[in-house]
Chains A and B, each alone.
Chain A
Amino acid sequence: EPEVTQTPSHQVTQMGQEVILRCVPISNHLYFYWYRQILGQKVEFLVSFYNNEISEKSEIFDDQFSVERPDGSNFTLKIRSTKLEDSAMYFCASRGRRQGGKNEQFFGPGTRLTVL
């Protein structure tokens, strides 16, 4: 069964460093998402991406964040200058075309980012 994959599973970085989190969505999907979960808090929406551009973003997704689909398979989240409060689990998700009103998003296993 096709699935969303994410690498790395755990990333440790120093404050101020840049990190890139990688996701490989399901191959025929067209809509891509990033969510994050700070430990003990809710899973929060960051950004959605469709047709090579951001379609929606939350207040969390400020100028230090960017997303890219550099080739036909990867979908990346870059954090330019990490802060301690960026430590969280980051989930990638993808979805195909809406069918019959169904718009299920398929989630990856997550990347745990620890900023020291």
Chain B
Amino acid sequence: GDSVTQMEGPVTLSEEAFLTINCTYTATGYPSLFWYVQYPGEGLQLLLKATKADDKGSNKGFEATYRKETTSFHLEKGSVQVSDSAVYFCALLPNTGNQFYFGTGTSLTVIP
């Protein structure tokens, strides 16, 4: 069935370091892929998304490219800030149905 496997955390980085959080998926057909972020005490917020192969989603300096050949959607940011400290969830939405499949979440802490 459809599923998402996400890099386990927690991840601790110094400010301005490069970030990669790995995400791979299993799905039939052509799902849409998402990254959600949860800041402390808040709900899940959409960070970026990509709806077809080779699309790149980007927002707030974060990027992820939909790679069908490697079934991956890795999240990257060139220079993290303390304010990026949060839990990041990779998610998949099949092209039929409206149920999201989430990864386990990766906790990121950025230290000054």
Contact = CB atoms under 8 A, between A and B. Distances in A.
8 contacts: A35-B102, A43-B89, A43-B100, A103-B32, A103-B93, A107-B45, A108-B43, A109-B42
B102 A109 contact: no
Interface of B: 4, 32, 36, 41-46, 49, 51, 89, 91, 93, 97-105
Contacts of A40: 104
A107 B43 contact: yes
A105 B44 CA distance: 10
Contacts of B98: 31, 33, 48, 55-56, 95, 103, 105
Contacts, number: 57
Interface residues of A, number: 30
Interface in A72-116: 91, 93, 95, 101-110
A101 B49 CA distance: 12
Contact of B99 (A37, A56, A107, A108): A56
B9 to A, nearest CB: 11
B59 to A, nearest CB: 13
Given A45-B99, A48-B98, A56-B97, A104 B46 contact: yes
Given A104-B49, A107-B43, A42 B103 contact: yes
Q: Which of B4, B44, B46, B97 has the most CB of A within 10 A?
A: B44
A3 interface: yes
Contacts of A37: 102, 105
B44 to A, nearest CB: 4
Contacts of A91: 43-44
